[in-house]
């Protein structure tokens, strides 16, 4: 078992703590496989009645995946990157369909791969420290790990807004949107874990007792304008709506969009449109794996990682540079199914 995870049982709970504090617990292939192994081990273990996810130490639950490795692999043959996605998506799917209750404590930064662990869980606890985001379009990627499923099912056009802009939202906003099921003060988490491990049958009552009233959810103030200005499934139309509005909020969001990859913003819109129609989560993961296998070897992902993570100049040179230059043929190529022997399959 990897030392990047702390896996143990406490009382009647299986406990998985992410343990890469210097990387804000970003996921590796080894971690995804370790979580899969633990879930398989506990599936038929009558002593384990619930599975709890948290992080060992540091300021975040999980900042995402091992992006540098993905880019280095994508610049070569992409084999290692595809192996990561394959394992990660199997973990996402296993959590989505797991036979026992699961609980994620989204205390601190919860982004990308961390979202992929948290959102399939039955109980998702936010705190005053929660910073939730799917910021992938800023590095030429897209909101994967089930993003096409989860974000497309948020109220109104909030999912499209989060997918395109990579906006960070707090714990109160997560609760308001249904991304979190409960809001607890961070200081109550240890008591929650202890009491739930002792009697998992009372998990809902315990979380209810320890819940706090969150502050006002700021995103609710902008829900109407988000639904209006992000209404289109065509990126050019969203740009036009923001420009035509001309207000401070609209122009700020338009400026944000202009820093993102036009290609993967269009990928994201299509992913959410098609994800809303998916009949089961396995189909979503199969599609996202094919899209990820293509995107990880394309220019924008390699350039985004260079600009944001390697050189840190934050000046990516996207190609295509504008939404108009991203053609339907390009998107069809990215969404093309993989050959049968390369397709994603559940664990």
Catalytic site positions: 65, 113, 136, 144
Q: How far apart are CA 57 and CA 63, in angstroms?
A: 13
| Burial status of residue 314 (CB atoms within 10 A of its CB: 0-12, 13-18, 19 or more) | exposed
Q: Give whole-number Cα distances, 217 to 107, 192, 213, in Å.
A: 17, 24, 11
Q: Which residues lie below 8 Å from residue 59, measured CB to CB, with a gap of 6+?
A: 24, 108, 109, 129
The span from the CA of 313 to the CA of 321, in Å, is 18
Radius of gyration of the chain (CA): 20
Query: Three-class SS of residue 50?
Result: strand
Let me know: does 155 contact 222? Beta carbons within 8 Å: no
- What are the residues facing 53 on neighbouring strands? 16, 104
């Amino acid at each position: 078992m990897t030392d990047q995870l702390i896996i143990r049982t406490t009382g009647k709970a299986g406990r998985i703590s992410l343990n890469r504090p210097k990387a804000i617990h970003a996921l590796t292939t080894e971690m995804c496989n370790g979580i899969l192994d633990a879930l398989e081990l506990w599936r038929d273990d009558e002593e384990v009645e619930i599975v709890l996810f948290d992080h060992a130490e540091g300021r975040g639950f999980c900042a995402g995946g091992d992006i540098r490795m993905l880019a280095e692999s994508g610049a070569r043959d992409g084999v290692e990157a595809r192996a990561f996605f394959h394992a990660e998506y199997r973990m996402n799917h296993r959590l989505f369909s797991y036979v026992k209750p699961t609980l994620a404590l989204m205390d601190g930064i919860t982004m990308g791969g961390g979202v992929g662990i948290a959102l399939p869980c039955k109980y998702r606890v936010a705190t005053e420290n929660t910073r939730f985001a799917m910021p992938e379009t800023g590095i030429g990627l897209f909101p994967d790990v089930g993003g096409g499923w989860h974000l497309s099912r948020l109220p109104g056009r909030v999912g499209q807004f989060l997918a395109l802009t990579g906006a960070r939202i707090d714990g109160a906003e997560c609760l308001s949107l249904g991304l979190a099921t409960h809001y607890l003060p961070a200081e109550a988490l240890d008591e929650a874990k202890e009491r739930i491990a002792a009697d998992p049958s009372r998990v809902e009552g315990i979380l209810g007792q320890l819940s706090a009233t969150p502050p006002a959810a700021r995103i609710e103030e902008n829900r109407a304008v988000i639904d209006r200005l992000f209404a289109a499934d065509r990126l050019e139309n969203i740009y036009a709506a923001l420009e035509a509005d001309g207000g401070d909020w609209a122009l700020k969001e338009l400026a944000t969009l202009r820093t993102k990859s036009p290609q993967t913003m269009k990928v994201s819109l299509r992913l959410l449109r098609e994800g809303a129609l998916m009949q089961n989560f396995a189909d979503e993961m199969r599609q996202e794996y094919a899209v990820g296998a293509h995107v990880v070897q394309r220019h924008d992902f390699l350039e985004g990682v260079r600009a944001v993570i390697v050189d840190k100049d934050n000046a990516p040179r996207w190609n295509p540079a504008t939404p108009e230059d991203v053609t339907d043929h390009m998107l069809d190529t990215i969404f093309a199914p993989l050959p049968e022997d390369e397709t994603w399959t559940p664990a």
